[in-house]
Structure 1
Amino acid sequence: MRIVFAAVLLAGLGLAGLAVILAKDYVSTLKAGQSSVVPMTKVIALKADVAYGEPLARDDLKFIELPSAVVPAGAFTEVDAMFPKGYDVPRTVLRAMAANEPVLASKVTAPGEDAGVATRLSTGMRAFAIRVDVASGVSGFLRPNDRVDIFWSGALPGRNGEVTRLIDTNVRIVAVDQSVDAERTKAVVARTITVEATPRQVASFAQAQSSGRLSLALVGALDESVSEMVEIDQRELLGIEDEPVVAAAPAPQTCSIRTRRGSEVVEMPIPCTN
């Protein structure tokens, strides 16, 4: 009986060992197959979380491997490309990033630049500041990269009362007061909003701001529609309809002749004839 038990035990141990060896060989073969099938690329990533406005130095970075097919556009694969002017000329973070996240060119400034408004403008665009308050600035909930519709309120020549008109749509905000940080979550009542605009838009906004008041309406983050032309005056706002113009009745036609009686001239009415 003991001999049978020992034989069964030895057979079980042998099968278990064989299974471990086969599994190990299979995993090694699988890894070797994957490494040969999926090409990998080393990209520069972050060692720790970074916030907006922080400079990036060499010690803040490391290399990680990503499948070559999924390397994001703008990723840095060489240290010389990240610091072309040397390690003592850092780049500044434009958007908050997490540890192990690849560093992209769109999320950092050029070497030596700070995270100012000039780095946020698109080619051919200009920055224009609009004066706002709690009401016109959407109660302080505007942030950089938000988009707004701009309304003008003022008096038009030859019109009674004020008019409010939509003058531009989907205008991108690049700064709120002195901040271009798009990651902030706290509402701040701003005094100025800086928007990105073409030179013609800048001229329009300057004229509108000098001749009336500008108000902003926040556009939804997922809203891709374009607002239509809107204009409302006080009469339309209050529902006052224009009174119909009643044509005056024509005055009755009268005819007369004048005759002289001595030293007097007498006017006598007679029937009118065509």
Structure 2
Amino acid sequence: MNIARIVVLTIALGAGGVAAYLVRQPETKPGPAEPVAQQLPTVEVLVAQSDIGLGQSVKQENLQWQAWPAATASNNFIRRNDRPDAIKDVIGSIARAPLIAGEPIREQKLVKADGSGFMAAILPPGSRAVSTEISAETAAGGFILPNDRVDVILSRREKNPDQHSADLVRSEIILNNIRVLAIDQAPKEKDGANSLLGKTVTLELKPEQTETLARSRQSGVLSLALRSIADVNVADSASQDQPPKRGQSINVVRYGVPSSTTTQK
């Protein structure tokens, strides 16, 4: 075999090897372009960095700015672009309602004490805080807790015209749907307890209701009837500001036994 033929054969074998290698390589096709996530417009709002309890004084470490979707940011939220120094304004306020970590700060839930005590700070405008004595027997066995709603019942003993019969005990609901502010000096539940025994209860009353309560304390024994949470917004048939009229029949439940009585005319 001459040299020229060997060279041609070598070149042919090399070209064939290169072609075989290229055939074995997978064909790469351009894939579809990945969709680019659209960035939603956001706004920085002031939120609670940690839980803030009822009556707690707000400190700087309880607050932080957090990005919030602009479309869902309420007008009640405190926005950084509107109030960049809002943290300084909020520090020292008292929480009128609990706030959980991550919850946007709303000024409706805060109040400036301005040197006043806690109860005066959280009391709604136009309302009065009035305390009265209670016991386990007159306060639903201790199952009444702060922020519950109660009816106040006045029970009094009267002489029976019939000297051979026992004295009469008459009861009437004097106040309806009253908010409990505190039991003793506890304005909230302690450690998630489902009952709280105390000797005094502080009620949230209107000015005219305070007079009714003060008169009734001198007339007989006051009891609290716990209302269902489902009945808080239910309108009562009787006025919440005026006691029932004399001669009105009232259903009274004692030890689980219902009975009917009539107030004195």
Measured after TM superposition, the shift of residue 184 of structure 1 is 5.5
Amino acid at match of 1:231: I
Aligned to 1:189: 197
Structure 1 residues 123 and 133: alpha-carbon distance in aligned structure 2, compared to 1, 3 A threshold: same
Residue 162 in 1 paired to residue 169 in 2? Answer: yes
Which of the numbers 107, 110, 114 marks the counterpart of 1:108? 110
| Structure number, greater radius of gyration | 1
CA contact (8 A) 2:160 2:168 kept: no
Which of the numbers 52, 59, 69 marks the counterpart of 1:57? 59
Measured after TM superposition, the shift of residue 190 of structure 1 is 1.3
CA contact (8 A) 2:51 2:100 kept: yes
Aligned partners of 1:10, 1:112: CA distance in 2, in Å? 77
Aligned to 2:152: 150
| Residue deviations 1:116-172 (CA, integer Å, cap 9, x gap) | 221222221111112110011112222222111111100358775110111121011
Aligned partners of 2:131, 2:181: CA distance in 1, in Å? 10
Aligned partners of 2:260, 2:210: CA distance in 1, in Å? 34
CA contact (8 A) 2:145 2:196 kept: no
Measured after TM superposition, the shift of residue 104 of structure 1 is 1.9
Aligned partners of 2:191, 2:117: CA distance in 1, in Å? 15
SS state of the match for residue 173, structure 2? strand
CA contact (8 A) 1:83 1:111 kept: no
Question: Structure 1 residue runs of 4+, over 6 Å off?
Answer: 237-240
Aligned to 1:263: none
Aligned to 1:206: 214
SS state of the match for residue 83, structure 1? helix
CA contact (8 A) 1:142 1:218 kept: yes
Residue 225 in 1 paired to residue 234 in 2? Answer: yes
Aligned to 1:83: 88
CA contact (8 A) 1:76 1:82 kept: no
Structure 1 residues 103 and 124: alpha-carbon distance in aligned structure 2, compared to 1, 3 A threshold: same
Q: Given the two structures, how large is their TM-score scaled by the length of structure 2?
A: 0.69
Aligned to 1:70: 72
SS state of the match for residue 216, structure 1? strand
SS state of the match for residue 55, structure 1? coil
Amino acid at match of 2:44: K
Aligned to 1:5: 24
SS state of the match for residue 222, structure 1? helix
Count residues in correspondence. Answer: 219
Aligned to 2:7: none
Aligned partners of 2:226, 2:174: CA distance in 1, in Å? 14
Aligned to 1:260: none
Amino acid at match of 1:212: G
Structure 1 residues 184 and 228: alpha-carbon distance in aligned structure 2, compared to 1, 3 A threshold: farther
Structure 1 residues 123 and 94: alpha-carbon distance in aligned structure 2, compared to 1, 3 A threshold: closer
CA contact (8 A) 1:143 1:184 kept: no
CA contact (8 A) 1:115 1:180 kept: no
CA contact (8 A) 1:163 1:231 kept: no
Percent of matched pairs sharing the same residue: 22
Q: Given the two structures, how large is their TM-score scaled by the length of structure 1?
A: 0.67
Aligned partners of 1:184, 1:105: CA distance in 2, in Å? 27
CA contact (8 A) 1:90 1:112 kept: no
Aligned to 2:185: 178
Residue 141 in 1 paired to residue 143 in 2? Answer: yes
Aligned partners of 2:58, 2:116: CA distance in 1, in Å? 11
Aligned partners of 1:51, 1:4: CA distance in 2, in Å? 73
Structure 1 regions of 5+ residues with no counterpart? Answer: 241-274
Structure 2 regions of 5+ residues with no counterpart? Answer: 1-19, 162-166, 239-248, 253-257
Structure 1 residues 52 and 196: alpha-carbon distance in aligned structure 2, compared to 1, 3 A threshold: closer
